[in-house]
Structure 1
Amino acid sequence: MTPQRKHLVRDFNHFITCYICKGYLIKPATVTECLHTFCKSCIVQHFEDSNECPKCGIQVHETNPVEMLRLDNTLEEIIFKLVPGLREKELQQEIEFWRRNKSKEKVDEDGPICKRAKLDNEEDDKGDGDYHRSDPQIAICLDCLWNNGQMGENIVKGLMKKYICCSSRVTIGTIKKFLSLKLNLPTSYELDVLCNGEIMGKDHTMEFIYMTRWRIRRENAYPMVLEYRPRIDFG
């Protein structure tokens, strides 16, 4: 058998580094007009002075090029798997940044960020636990899509407190767990969570959904609304 060739991380650097800062892509954001990808912070800062792609020079948008960015969470996960310790390093740097600037209002340049409100099912911090409180925060509204007993379902109801503020990195999977706890659902009970009528995947983050599903169709609408319902079995 022919021995398999081992690849080094540097063999993939062309695909996982930012054209602007030359470092590994952090929160990769792709320009929809030309499909070139940069660190989110790098390209947003670039668009403050120019509306052209820094790599190919194409005009991205006449007035607001940031609207043409789409986050690539899949690529981010690939990079974190390829580069040992990168995720932990970036998280620590982000925590340190917010600690240095904790007296300032947290505002993200390309999405609505709010001050952290503790979720009802969370315990107070113990020890050095951060519980993602140092992350940029986003406000969401959790609306019950079915509350009329259709198909015999009356276990899924509206929340008494449907407005929450959470980390922009929170996934749909975590939102489902939160809903299950608040609604006292059986562990085997499945929910669908939707945005603008589209079912969201369990690994989608709030930031990704806001940038790719909510903002492009509901400009300036805040907070972001997510709807939940019993899972529909089309089989």
Structure 2
Amino acid sequence: MHRTTRIKITELNPHLMCALCGGYFIDATTIVECLHSFCKTCIVRYLETNKYCPMCDVQVHKTRPLLSIRSDKTLQDIVYKLVPGLFKDEMKRRRDFYAAYPMAEVPNGSNEARGQVCEQEKGSLAEDEIVSLSIEFYEGSREEKKETVENGELEKEKQNGLRFLRCPAAMTVMHLAKFLRNKMDVPSKYKVEVLYEDEPLKEYYTLMDIAYIYPWRR
């Protein structure tokens, strides 16, 4: 089994933050010559008076520097998924701006540019969002199943079948396991482990983490 290392988001910040404004990327845009990324508005404004990357001094297009930058949607999606609330706050900021300046031109005319895309449409989750999930007793291998039936101690739990729950996206696997232990009256001598298909889930995973790591549809 592959070893999993848990890291803090602060350790990823250098890869998620714009060197020009010091905030998390918004409309992440990358310089094609050196692959350094910045907020779109930050790098466009910077290149109005400069012809070099602000991080490594590589020269961009001499006469038309904007030809050297590309929108990085993948990077922006990663930032939105790793930083709770960022997408929601940005959409609200855009809605407020266009409400105050209704005649302002909307870049590319998209709903996201207007701030009219919710986290559900974007595929992102808010920590306080309610997630629906189903759980069922894991049968394991045939040998394990036979032994359990013979012992008869957990047969009651197996017969309970499929169950549906609605939980906050920030709920951890550890808390889910505690809930199941209490709900199913699992004896303390048994360990309650939560699996996705055949793979045990880390106790510190949240439902939001699981939704991002594994194939998941609303």
Query: Highest relative contact order (Cα 8 Å, sep 6+), 1 or 2?
Result: 1
**Alignment TM-score, normalising by the size of structure 2:** 0.48
**Alignment TM-score, normalising by the size of structure 1:** 0.45
Q: Which has the larger Rg?
A: 2
